[in-house]
Each structure stands twice: as C-alpha cells, then as structure tokens.
Structure 1
C-alpha cells in the first residue's frame, strides 16, 4: 500500500490543472458506460519460494472475464482530458505446463484503479485518442485453488502493485446533444507476487506477469 500515495498524487495533480474551456457547445465532463473484456496473461516469471516441489517447467494462465465499467472523464482543454475508470473483475489462475488443468488460485477479485491523461485528435467530431497513466492493482478475497488446498495450502494472497497503462480509442458522436459511441483499448504493464501459506508458513511464492489487455465498447454522454 506504500505506492498508493503516488497514484493519489497523480490524480490530485490532474484535477488541479487550470481548466481551459472546451469548444463552444461542448461540456467538460464525459461519462461512459462500457462492457469491458479483461484479458490477463498470468504466466509465472519467477519462483521465489518452493517448499512443495513444483514440477519443472510449471506454467500458468489466468482466465478472461467480461465486466461492466464506468469511466469518468474531465476535459481540461478541447484536446486534453483526464480519465479514471471504476470496475471490478474476478479471475482464476490454472496450471498449463507442468500442472495442466490444476486450479492454483480461486476467485481473485481485482480493482484496477487507473488514471490516464488523454489527447484527442479531432475534438468535436469523430475523435481518435491516445492516453497513458499510472494504475494500481488492488486484489482482495483471493483464495487458494483446489489443487493447492489438497497440498495443504490454507491461505493465499496476491500483492497489490503499481504499474502503467497505455490507451487508445475513438469517440464517435451520435447526435449534437453529447451522446457518442466509444471504443477503447488499454494495455497494462504490471506484475504481482502470489503467495501460498500452510498455517503461518509460506510454502510457495511466484512472480506473475499479468500485463492484461482491457478492451471496452459502450456509450458516452458529455455534458
């Protein structure tokens, strides 16, 4: 949690930027309701502790998920905006190589707290954009999977981590009252530590590359 102040400071800085009024007839606030596909990797980068004897070459993957997402965007100028998203997604991690089909992580819930600064190429019309910014992944209610419980694991956690997101998309106006269709893609660059415990003893710790693609489509309203 020590990295969380950096994310909060970034958001505060963006909010403090002196606003420049958007083009005449356009509001400065845009709200989006999106359907979002979260497509993580989940492969093991490193094995840091292994008291259970993982098979050589063990590898994992995390399942994909589709969730609703709310995005709130503030335009500080006609072409520059700051956006944050609100969603929660849930994932299992299963073995592929070495432990094929073995459930290692069950129902890990994730909130990808994200703030991006975006540049819009054609304000007022069909407007492609790019963006970038920090992301803080918060995991909670994660549990050891069935396969690790049979090996004696009684508790499991994943580390909250600070990473980075790149973004690209397009807003397509539907009418002149601020309604638009929005298509968006983000690529996150972030890892996490997965730790299994038997009682109070850490029996396994692995470093996982998440780096998810997050693909969204939905409607936007600007006012």
Structure 2
C-alpha cells in the first residue's frame, strides 16, 4: 500500500474553504477539481497559485471560463439545498439544530444510512444534510500519496495542484464507484466527458503532462 501523508497544511485547509465558496459563487451543486483550482487562485499566497498565474491564469478570467465550460456541458440539476432554500428552509441551520439535539455523529450516521438504503427499500436521493457531492476525492488521494512517497509530513497546495492536474488527464468520473456515478447522473454531469480542468488548460494552451511534471520538479520538499 502506498505511503500517504495525512496532515493537510493550513493553506490547504483554507483552499478547501475557498473552493466551497467558489462552488457557491458559481451555483454548482457539487464540489469539483475546478473549484479546488479556483480556491488556489483565490487564496493567492501559495506556490500553486504562483505556478498558475505564471502560466496566465488569473482568478476572474479562470472563474468565467469554468462557468462557461460547465454550462456548455449541459443542464446541471439544482442543488437540493438551494431548492429547499427557495421554500424558506435553511439546511445549514437545520443540521445545526439536529446536531445540537442528537449530536453530530448521530446526524452523520443517520444521513449515511439513508444514503446507503438498499434498492428494495426505495433507495433515497442524495440528502442535502450530507452537503454537496465531493468529486475531489481522487485529486486529494493523489495529493496524499504523492506527499507520502516524497517523505513529506504535510500535504501542501503543490501536492493538491498535482492531484488536480493528474485527475484532469482522464475523463470526468474516472475512479468513481457506482454510487459516485449515480450522483453524477443525478446532477446531470456526463460520466466519461472531458474534465473541466483539462478544457480550462487547453484554453490557455497549457500541456497537462508538462505542467504536472513541472509542479513536482519545482516542489521544494519540507520535512
């Protein structure tokens, strides 16, 4: 089994929060690698953002291009939390109240059991209490294993960028299980279609393979 670094850097934690903000800004019902890339640019003070800007990517322009690329792929289902919000239901506040009454672990387990309900009991749709579907797990796994192989303690923004670039080489949905593919189909995302980050890089004339190699070459290991 590949050795994995397990401690994200403070910058990576901030990038993840910024990626979630970018998802909200673009009104996308999932968290994808393209949002991670925008989160790196939004964070700004990290080597990954510097490598992106050196290649001509700026936050506002990249945000506009991602919005166009995702819209061009076809209609995306509206976020269930957004639908409920239209009826005056605040899902975040609802979850906080449930957690205050039953505890966060109990709420998480209840949502997980509903999501895993077998077909003969009427398989449920994704619960808004679980948050948006995460399509960034493959990039995160690559980042963790890359840092671990290099003997580094923390998973930095450069590892995360490398993970995003590696994941973007393959068609969208590569590595997902049946549940993940169902989630993508529910959202209206086409499994096997071109990865949004690949299309973004092509717009800027950036070779994914060369860029990914450069990320690791320019990475100064920290121990």
TM over 0.5: no
**If each structure's helix is expressed as a fraction of its own residues, which one has the higher value?**
2
Q: TM-score, normalised to structure 2's length? A: 0.22
Structure having greater relative contact order (Cα 8 Å, sep ≥ 6) = 2
- Looking at secondary structure, tell me which structure has more strand per residue: 1
Q: Which protein shows a greater Rg?
A: 1
Provide TM-score, normalisation by structure 1: 0.22
